[in-house]
Each structure stands twice: as structure tokens, then as C-alpha cells.
Amino acid sequence: MAAYGIDYNHFFSNKACRVDFQLTGNDSSTSAFIDKIKEEPYWGGRRSNLTYYLNLGEYRFQVTDSASGKLIYTSGFSSLFFEWQTTDEAKHTPKSMEQSIQFPFPKNAVRLNIEKRAGFDTWTTLLSVGFSPNDKLIVRNTPVQVPVKEILKSTTPEKAVDIAIIAEGYTAEQQEKFFADAQKLADNLFTHEPFIRHKSKLNIYAVAAVSVDSGISKPHENSWKNTAVGAHFYTFYEPRYLTSPNMFAIRNYAALVPYDAIYILANTATYGGGGIYNFYALASADSKRAKSEVIVHEFGHSFAGLGDEYFKDKPDVLDDMYDIKEEPWEPNLTSLVRFDTKWKNDLPKGTPIPTPVTEETKKLPIGVFEGGGYLTKGIYRPAFDCRMRTNDAKAFCSVCEKAVERMILYLTSDNAALDVR
């Protein structure tokens, strides 16, 4: 951790470097292949804590200075591809999916290493590539131009969590509806802590990407729409799972503003959504449940790496995402294998591990309740109920709220080790 005091201005410019690549494979193999490297006009990410790693994500990347070999930037991320690898389809049909990462544009030659998690704190290399910032084949074209509106501008990008809200399924004639829906999304975030108390650290931009058709594709109903980023329901054949496979197009729209996080707002009243850490969040704009519950839940995934705390008695498409012999990396889930790295030290004295479900324990602010990560057994969550478990919960539990706050401070503070207890 001693290396995280990197001088940003010595190594990086004020622009962003985007690397597009393909993740390919099947249920048991993963490969990565570069598509392109782009220079983009804005860097909205952190300028401190550049090599401080929070151990979040199924993957991470590291950028080293070629001349000195010094680590100068690192970050974690997850992918739709990883989720697909846990499905039955991946057992017999190999696929590739788009993935994109971003870091400050380097002033000198660098080497990029992309790694896949092999355990709670072990990694295997997928890709290693060196490049010079002067390379003539780095794409430097102007991002696609669409109207942008500042929903909230609290401070400068380097001191803020910058959120890009991208329109999906809105026609040119529905631009004002999108801006109104984006305002509602922002308002919904600020009904929850810790966003309320850290509002002065958030900037929110609405990017009015234009779709030919209004609405969102529903493959299971034989309904396909021509939309800006091609989002659709029925991801992995799950009717309510709403995602887009077109990450490069999403990033093209996000490049119009500085951003730390991407939120795609889908012009539909049908209930659904999705959220993947350091990838994007996506939710229905007009669903009654989207007024705050889904909006905040999906952002918990994409922004802070929170895991789903719900579970079902019947099989779920993502049942195989967690190996209970390993500790999950998500801060709000544990298999008890490495519980000391999670909320164990925050438990009130005498709290049983695991915590049985009774009328009294349901009232506890924190415990160790079995069931989470789509599994009824072997994975444990911090509270009986939480925004990451049900739509009826009024707020994040204290563990999830702390994880979100830590991410806000990580992106905006000069001291990533700041205790947010």
C-alpha cells in the first residue's frame, strides 16, 4: 500500500485512455484480445489513491510506467461475460463479449496488464500489452455528439463522483422526457444514505443518446427495437434481466462527459434492470418499483461492488456464481472462509455466527444471516433485510452503506484509508 502516493501530474494528462477488448471463452476458459485503444477528452476518475486497490471485481488491471517499472494505476472491474460463464449455455457454446476499461491518459510509454481473479487475493494474467501515447493507431476521433445536460454540478470532476446517465430507447422527440427521467433518477439516489450526506461530492450528467425506436427490446415477446445501445430484456433467458452487450457504444456516449460511473436509463415501464461493478447500472425509467428501489439497488452493484443478498428456493440462472469454498470479494457477502476481511469486527459482542433468524434477531442492525448471492446455503449476508435483498427494505444495511461511502471517499479523497465507521 506504500505505493499509492503516485504524483498524478508526473505520469498522466487530463485526458482519458480507453482500452476496448473482447473477453472470450466458455464456462471453464477465459481469454482477452485487444480491440482498440482510444484517447478521450475527459478524465473524471480519481487523481489520488491511484494504486490503492480495494480488492473489488472479478478482474483487475494494472498500469506500469515502462521506463521505471513502477505501478502507477490500478482498478478492478466485473463483466457480463463472467456472469454468462455460470450459465448452462456456456457449457457448450463459446462466446465473446465486449469489455472496456479507462484510466488517465499516460504521458509516457506504459504496460497494461489485465488479470482474472483466481481466488480471494490471487490472480492470473489474461493480457499484457505495452504501448506509447504517441502511437499513431490510437484512436483520437471526436465522440458522437448528442445533447448533454448537467443534472447536478457540485464541484470539479477531480473532486467529485461523476455519474453519466445515458438515454436508451428515447427518440429525438422524447429528449425532454429523458432529461426529466434523469432528474428523477438523481432525486431517487438522494433519498438514500450515504448519497444524501455526500451530495456535495456528486456531479450528474444526462447524455441524451438518440434511438430510432421508442422503448426497449423484449426478445421473449418477439419485440426488437432499434435503440442507441441495444439494451434488451431476457438476458441469459431471464425475463427481467435487462442489459446491453454493446459496451463500446455505451462508452462512446459516456465519453461526452467526465465520468466515474455509468447509469443507463431505459425508456420502459416494464420492471427490470441490471448492475455490474465498474461496468454500468441499467434500470427501467417508468417502472413503479424504479422510483427508488431498483435505481438504488442496481447502483449499489455497479458503483460499490455490492452483491445480491436475495436467494430463491427454486433454481436461479446465476446459481453457480459463488464457490462457497472461497470467500466472495463483494463486501456484503461472506462464505465465512475469510470473514475476518468483512464485517466480523463490526459485530456487536456476543452476536452468534451464523445468526439464527428469530423475531429478535430480525431487528439487529448487523449479524450473519444465511442466504445470499442467489444461494440458500453457504453464503451469508449482514442484515436480515437490506436494499440489496428486497424492494421492501427502506435503506442499505450499515455494511452496504459503509461500502458505498468508502467508494465515494476513495474516488474523491486524498486518503483512501480514511475510516468511515
Bond from prior residue into 354 cis (ω within 30 degrees of 0) = yes
Find how far residue 228's CA is from the centre of its chain: 20
pLDDT of residue 316: 56
**pLDDT digit string, tens, across residues 192-224:** 999 999 999 999 999 999 999 999 999 999 999
**Least confident residue range of 49-53, 121-125, 310-314, 395-399:** 310-314
Burial class (CB in 10 A: 0-12, 13-18, 19+), 69: exposed
pLDDT of residue 1: 37
Whole-angstrom distance, CA of residue 161 vs CA of residue 393:
25
Whole-angstrom distance, CA of residue 210 vs CA of residue 147:
9
Whole-angstrom distance, CA of residue 135 vs CA of residue 290:
45
pLDDT of residue 414: 74
Q: Are 16 and 43 in contact (CB under 8 A)?
A: yes
Whole-angstrom distance, CA of residue 10 vs CA of residue 63:
14
Position 421 pLDDT exceeds 70 = no
pLDDT of residue 2: 39
Long-range contacts of 228-234 (CB under 8 A, 24+ apart): 228/166, 228/167, 228/168, 228/169, 228/170, 228/253, 229/166, 229/168, 229/253, 229/264, 231/168, 231/169, 231/264, 231/266, 231/282, 233/270, 233/272
Band (pLDDT 50/70/90 cuts) for residue 314 is low
**Least confident residue range of 39-53, 306-320, 396-410:** 306-320
pLDDT of residue 290: 56
Q: Are 230 and 244 in contact (CB under 8 A)?
A: yes
Band (pLDDT 50/70/90 cuts) for residue 420 is very low
pLDDT of residue 3: 42
Prediction pTM value: 0.95
Three-state SS for 249? helix
**pLDDT digit string, tens, across residues 319-336:** 577 899 999 999 999 999
Whole-angstrom distance, CA of residue 280 vs CA of residue 414:
25
Position 82 pLDDT exceeds 80 = yes
CA atoms within 13 A on the CB side of 176: 1
Q: Which domains can be identified in the chain, with CATH numbers?
A: 2-140 (2.60.40.3250), 148-304 (3.40.390.10), 319-396 (no CATH)
